[in-house]
């Protein structure tokens, strides 16, 4: 049995956090493995309507049991629950867990709208329970170094950022393409990471204006229920800085993925980019005039760090953390990107220009 003394909260727990895992598809099992490897928590039970997925999860935790659903998980005297279900279920499931007095680590997005995200945060606050969301790119060494540079003022005033996430494949599960289950397309799936990286680096600045263009299969979206596979958005901050976001599924990008977050300030720049089209390998550089200086190179095993960080804080006895209130700002921006897109019947020219 582990003894964990967490000096940050001056508390001692005699045993690892007791966790339930709700939704153990690809990412659910990946994060479950990372948490269990840390020895900060034990898996008490898993719940997933897919028997195959639940059985696969038990290979990671042979002592855990399979239960039918969220209610069954919540009857097990858990410390926390890890949610990795289709996106539209996140808010409701998180609220039910928090209202039962169970801490939550949820996959992104926390909600499909700012209202949903705010309701989850309110439930965490009122239950005084820790709420975490898997905004995993914050935990790359590259983004941490860039944030440090920005926050120390070494890049001067950041007046622009270019944020890009093209996934050449797009999701392979059908629920991602049903807006009632996913909440949207590439913006809520991939853009959420980019916007979070920028807001987190810039200390959650106020937004003045958002404009966006959403497309599906090369044409402007003309129905609210359509799920976009290409998006461009401009987020103008109250201090005049401009964040330009581009993201997509199934773009003919010439490689698996193009992922970057570039920040430009009055005293220098910083660049975070995937290497060789990889979804996992990133390099970061500091930019001065025409010179570049490496901040970090792969490898960096960052994927499970947000989950492990939450498990460590839970095991250390941390209650509600007001930092989760920023999740509502993130959801509001995504909502405004969807809300500001003009629904139009204009079709882009199909022939050569």
Ligand X SMILES: NC(=O)c1ccc[n+]([C@@H]2O[C@H](COP(=O)([O-])OP(=O)(O)OC[C@H]3O[C@@H](n4cnc5c(N)ncnc54)[C@H](O)[C@@H]3O)[C@@H](O)[C@H]2O)c1
Footprint of ligand X (CB under 6 A): 22-28, 47-50, 53, 84-87, 89, 107-108, 134, 136, 173, 189
Buried b (16+ CB within 10 A) or exposed e, 60-90: bbeebeebeebeebbeeebbbbbbbbbbbbb
Residue with Cβ nearer ligand X (110 or 158): 110
Residue with Cβ nearer ligand X (49 or 218): 49
282: phi then psi, degrees, rounded to nearest 5: -130, 145
Residue with Cβ nearer ligand X (107 or 246): 107
Quick check: bond before 109 cis, omega within 30?
Answer: yes
Q: How far is the CB of 171 from ligand X (least distance, A)?
A: 7
Q: Give the integer Cα–Cα distance in Å for 80 and 83.
A: 10
Q: Give the 3-state secondary structure of residue 200.
A: helix
Here the tokens at position 293 are 């200086």
Q: How far is the CB of 4 from ligand X (least distance, A)?
A: 25
Q: How far is the CB of 53 from ligand X (least distance, A)?
A: 4
Residue with Cβ nearer ligand X (41 or 192): 192
Q: How far is the CB of 69 from ligand X (least distance, A)?
A: 6
Residue with Cβ nearer ligand X (149 or 261): 261
Residue whose C-beta lies closest to ligand X: 25
Q: Give the integer Cα–Cα distance in Å for 124 and 103.
A: 8
Asked whether the beta carbons of 70 and 102 are under 8 A apart, the reply is no
Q: How far is the CB of 252 from ligand X (least distance, A)?
A: 22
Identify the CA nearest to 91 among candidates 215, 181, 222, 156: 181
Q: Give the integer Cα–Cα distance in Å for 313 and 293.
A: 34
Residue with Cβ nearer ligand X (190 or 214): 190
Q: How far is the CB of 89 from ligand X (least distance, A)?
A: 5
Identify the CA nearest to 5 among candidates 316, 261, 228, 342: 316
């Amino acid at each position: 049995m582990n003894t964990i003394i967490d000096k940050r909260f001056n508390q001692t727990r005699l045993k690892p956090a007791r966790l339930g895992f709700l939704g153990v598809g690809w990412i659910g099992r990946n994060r479950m493995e990372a948490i269990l490897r840390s020895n900060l928590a034990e898996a008490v039970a898993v719940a997933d309507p897919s028997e195959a997925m639940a059985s696969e999860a038990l290979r990671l935790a042979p002592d855990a049991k399979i239960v039918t659903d969220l209610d069954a998980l919540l009857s097990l005297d858990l410390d926390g629950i890890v949610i990795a279900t289709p996106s539209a279920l996140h808010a409701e499931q998180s609220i039910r867990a928090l209202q039962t007095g169970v801490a939550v680590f949820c996959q992104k997005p926390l909600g499909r709208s700012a209202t949903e995200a705010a309701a989850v945060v309110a439930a965490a606050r009122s239950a005084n329970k820790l709420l975490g969301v898997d905004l995993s790119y914050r935990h790359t060494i590259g983004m941490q170094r860039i944030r440090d540079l920005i926050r120390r003022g070494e890049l001067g005033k950041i007046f622009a950022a270019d944020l890009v996430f093209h996934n050449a494949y797009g999701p392979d599960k059908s629920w991602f393409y049903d807006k009632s289950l996913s909440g949207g397309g590439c913006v809520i799936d991939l853009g959420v990471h980019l916007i979070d990286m920028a807001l987190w680096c810039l200390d959650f600045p106020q937004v003045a204006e958002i404009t966006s263009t959403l497309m599906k299969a090369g044409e402007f979206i003309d129905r609210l229920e359509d799920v976009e596979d290409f998006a461009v958005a401009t987020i103008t901050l109250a201090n005049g800085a401009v964040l330009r976001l581009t993201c997509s599924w199934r773009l003919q990008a010439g490689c698996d993925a193009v992922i970057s977050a570039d920040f430009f300030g009055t005293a220098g720049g910083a660049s975070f980019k995937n290497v060789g089209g990889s979804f996992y390998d990133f390099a970061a550089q500091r930019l001065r005039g025409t010179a570049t200086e490496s901040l970090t190179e792969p490898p960096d095993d960052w994927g499970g760090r947000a989950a492990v960080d939450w498990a460590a804080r839970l095991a250390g006895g941390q209650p509600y953390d007001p930092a989760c209130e920023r999740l509502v700002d993130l959801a509001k921006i995504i909502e405004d990107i969807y809300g500001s897109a003009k629904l139009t019947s204009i079709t882009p020219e199909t022939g050569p220009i």
